[in-house]
Amino acid sequence: MLRFTKREAADLMIALIVLSFCFAISTVKIDIHKILSLLPIVIIGVASGTILHEVGHKFMAMRYGYQSEFKLWPIGLLIGFATAFFGFVFAVPGTANLDTEDLSDEMNGKIKIAGPLTNIVLALLFILIAALIYPFSLHSQTIHLIYLICTVGFSVNSFLATFNLIPIYSFDGTAVLKWSIGFWIIAFAIAVIMMLSSMTIGAENMVLMIMGLT
């Protein structure tokens, strides 16, 4: 059964709040009114990406008979907050700690890749849903709001997948690279392409491209 400890739940909540502000600030800069109006939209993307990322770790860890626990990395959040003012977010909110050190490289790699893969799948689902509902979003405020949530969700999850796969410190990418260079290259390449597309083309323009409107 998936379970979160009290400390883990608190760490996830802190990460969720700080990351949400980071992504909001990176989008609208220092404009309190715009930040507050954008925050509810951003929170959904960050919440799905952060929480389900950890669920991915926990699910894979359980398959091997272990438990995974999210531990906040304050420095990673501070870096993210600082970079947000420059229009981008470079942040890894924490790491997934396992309750054992007796793991093979393969098991550890598979447990750690589950988180970023969850973000990749979520990002693709968000952009697909955005494309499907785009025609209807032009005539309904409610659907337009869902559309905005999906485009932001794509961007947020692309960022989370990419940064977690960087093979430094105790990031997920370190364990994945140690397990399989080929698998890491494929996953990291997909995540980077999505993140760069979000930064350069923009999620909304990507939807128009998918719809064949540009």
Are 50 and 15 a contacting pair, CB within 8 Å? yes
Q: What are the φ and ψ backbone dihedral angles of 70, each rounded to 5 degrees?
A: -75, 135
Q: Is 54 a catalytic residue?
A: yes
Q: Which residues contact 187 (CB under 8 A, 6 or more apart)?
A: 113, 116, 117, 120, 161, 165, 176
> Rounded to the nearest 5°, which phi and psi values hold at 96?
-95, 110
From the candidates 54, 69, 106, 204, which is the catalytic residue? 54
- The single residue listed with the structure tokens 């700080």 is 18
Please check whether residue 70 is in contact with residue 94, taking contact to mean a CB–CB distance below 8 angstroms. yes
Question: What phi, psi does 54 have (nearest 5°)?
Answer: -70, -35
**What are the residue numbers of the active site?**
54
